[in-house]
Amino acid sequence: MHDIVIVGAGAAGCVLASRLTEDPDVSVLLIEAGPRSRKLEVKIPAAFSKLYRTELDWGDSTTPQSGLDGRAIVFPRGRMVGGSAAMNAMMVLRGHRADYDAWAEAGMERVLLQMMDQEDIAALESFARGVLPSL
Protein backbone atom coordinates (compact mmCIF):
# COMPACT_ATOMS: atom_id res chain seq x y z
CA MET A 1 0.00 0.00 0.00
CA HIS A 2 1.34 3.43 -0.95
CA ASP A 3 0.46 6.86 0.39
CA ILE A 4 0.79 8.53 -3.02
CA VAL A 5 0.64 7.20 -6.58
CA ILE A 6 2.15 9.31 -9.37
CA VAL A 7 1.23 8.34 -12.92
CA GLY A 8 3.90 9.41 -15.38
CA ALA A 9 7.66 9.39 -14.82
CA GLY A 10 8.32 12.39 -17.02
CA ALA A 11 10.39 15.28 -15.72
CA ALA A 12 7.63 16.60 -13.45
CA GLY A 13 6.60 13.17 -12.15
CA CYS A 14 10.20 12.27 -11.30
CA VAL A 15 10.82 15.57 -9.51
CA LEU A 16 7.55 15.26 -7.60
CA ALA A 17 8.36 11.68 -6.54
CA SER A 18 11.84 12.73 -5.46
CA ARG A 19 10.56 15.61 -3.37
CA LEU A 20 7.80 13.54 -1.76
CA THR A 21 10.20 10.74 -0.81
CA GLU A 22 12.36 13.18 1.13
CA ASP A 23 9.89 12.43 3.92
CA PRO A 24 10.79 8.90 5.09
CA ASP A 25 7.23 8.39 6.36
CA VAL A 26 5.72 8.79 2.88
CA SER A 27 5.47 5.83 0.53
CA VAL A 28 5.37 6.82 -3.17
CA LEU A 29 4.66 4.66 -6.20
CA LEU A 30 5.81 6.15 -9.53
CA ILE A 31 4.25 4.49 -12.60
CA GLU A 32 5.52 4.96 -16.17
CA ALA A 33 4.01 3.40 -19.29
CA GLY A 34 7.29 3.36 -21.19
CA PRO A 35 10.57 1.65 -20.43
CA ARG A 36 13.75 2.97 -18.92
CA SER A 37 15.84 3.47 -22.02
CA ARG A 38 19.51 2.88 -22.45
CA LYS A 39 19.40 3.68 -26.17
CA LEU A 40 22.28 5.83 -27.33
CA GLU A 41 19.87 8.20 -29.14
CA VAL A 42 18.42 9.23 -25.77
CA LYS A 43 21.85 10.53 -24.74
CA ILE A 44 22.56 12.49 -27.94
CA PRO A 45 20.42 15.65 -28.40
CA ALA A 46 20.94 15.73 -32.17
CA ALA A 47 19.64 12.15 -32.48
CA PHE A 48 16.18 12.86 -31.06
CA SER A 49 14.46 12.32 -34.42
CA LYS A 50 15.66 8.70 -34.42
CA LEU A 51 13.30 8.17 -31.46
CA TYR A 52 10.19 9.21 -33.40
CA ARG A 53 7.64 6.44 -33.84
CA THR A 54 9.58 4.01 -31.66
CA GLU A 55 8.60 2.33 -28.42
CA LEU A 56 9.97 5.44 -26.68
CA ASP A 57 7.51 7.83 -28.39
CA TRP A 58 3.75 8.04 -28.00
CA GLY A 59 3.48 8.50 -31.78
CA ASP A 60 1.40 11.68 -31.65
CA SER A 61 0.90 13.97 -34.61
CA THR A 62 -1.22 17.02 -35.31
CA THR A 63 -4.46 16.86 -37.22
CA PRO A 64 -3.96 17.44 -40.94
CA GLN A 65 -3.18 21.11 -41.53
CA SER A 66 -4.90 22.91 -44.40
CA GLY A 67 -1.98 25.35 -44.65
CA LEU A 68 0.36 22.40 -45.20
CA ASP A 69 -1.54 20.72 -48.05
CA GLY A 70 -3.34 18.48 -45.58
CA ARG A 71 -0.16 17.10 -44.03
CA ALA A 72 0.07 16.23 -40.36
CA ILE A 73 3.13 17.15 -38.32
CA VAL A 74 4.90 14.61 -36.10
CA PHE A 75 4.61 15.73 -32.48
CA PRO A 76 7.09 13.66 -30.46
CA ARG A 77 6.17 12.92 -26.86
CA GLY A 78 8.50 10.80 -24.76
CA ARG A 79 7.21 7.44 -23.54
CA MET A 80 10.02 6.56 -21.15
CA VAL A 81 11.41 7.46 -17.77
CA GLY A 82 12.13 11.18 -18.13
CA GLY A 83 9.25 11.63 -20.59
CA SER A 84 9.62 14.15 -23.38
CA ALA A 85 12.58 15.75 -21.62
CA ALA A 86 14.46 12.48 -22.12
CA MET A 87 14.03 12.78 -25.89
CA ASN A 88 16.33 15.82 -25.81
CA ALA A 89 14.45 17.50 -28.63
CA MET A 90 14.57 20.72 -26.60
CA MET A 91 11.44 21.98 -28.31
CA VAL A 92 9.44 24.78 -26.75
CA LEU A 93 5.85 25.55 -27.55
CA ARG A 94 4.59 28.92 -26.43
CA GLY A 95 1.06 29.39 -25.19
CA HIS A 96 -1.64 31.13 -27.18
CA ARG A 97 -1.81 34.93 -27.01
CA ALA A 98 -5.25 34.68 -25.31
CA ASP A 99 -3.63 32.74 -22.44
CA TYR A 100 -1.20 35.58 -21.75
CA ASP A 101 -4.00 38.14 -22.00
CA ALA A 102 -6.04 36.17 -19.45
CA TRP A 103 -3.05 35.93 -17.12
CA ALA A 104 -2.48 39.69 -17.40
CA GLU A 105 -6.13 40.31 -16.50
CA ALA A 106 -5.62 38.06 -13.47
CA GLY A 107 -2.65 40.18 -12.37
CA MET A 108 0.10 37.95 -13.76
CA GLU A 109 1.30 40.24 -16.56
CA ARG A 110 4.93 39.36 -15.88
CA VAL A 111 4.54 35.76 -17.10
CA LEU A 112 5.28 36.61 -20.74
CA LEU A 113 8.15 38.88 -19.74
CA GLN A 114 9.68 36.15 -17.61
CA MET A 115 9.41 33.66 -20.47
CA MET A 116 10.99 36.17 -22.84
CA ASP A 117 13.83 36.71 -20.37
CA GLN A 118 14.45 32.94 -20.34
CA GLU A 119 14.63 32.94 -24.14
CA ASP A 120 17.68 35.15 -24.15
CA ILE A 121 18.57 34.35 -27.78
CA ALA A 122 19.88 37.37 -29.68
CA ALA A 123 19.10 35.79 -33.08
CA LEU A 124 15.40 35.72 -32.16
CA GLU A 125 15.26 39.25 -30.80
CA SER A 126 11.85 40.80 -31.44
CA PHE A 127 8.90 42.16 -29.53
CA ALA A 128 7.81 38.65 -28.55
CA ARG A 129 11.13 36.83 -28.26
CA GLY A 130 14.73 37.20 -27.37
CA VAL A 131 16.95 39.50 -25.43
CA LEU A 132 15.31 41.70 -22.81
CA PRO A 133 16.75 43.68 -19.95
CA SER A 134 16.85 41.76 -16.69
CA LEU A 135 13.55 41.75 -14.83
**What is the DSSP annotation of 44-90?**
-GGGGGGGTTSTTB---BPPPBGGGTTB--B---B-STBGGGGGT--
Query: Measured between alpha carbons, how far is 103 from 96 in angstroms, rounded to an integer?
Result: 11
**Residues 26 and 76 placed together within one structural domain of the fold:** yes
Residue 18's pLDDT is what? 94
**Residues 132 and 78 placed together within one structural domain of the fold:** no
**Residues 14 and 70 placed together within one structural domain of the fold:** yes
Average pLDDT over residues 115-134: 58
**Residues 96 and 80 placed together within one structural domain of the fold:** no
The band of 135, judged by pLDDT with boundaries at 50, 70 and 90, is: very low
**Residues 75 and 23 placed together within one structural domain of the fold:** yes
Domain holding 110, by residue range, is 92-135
What is the domain count for the chain?
2
**Residues 82 and 98 placed together within one structural domain of the fold:** no
The neighbouring-strand residues paired with 5 are 29
**Residues 71 and 48 placed together within one structural domain of the fold:** yes
Average pLDDT over residues 3-25: 94
Q: What is the pLDDT of residues 30-87, one digit of tens each?
A: 999 998 888 899 988 889 899 999 999 999 999 999 999 999 999 889 999 999 888 8
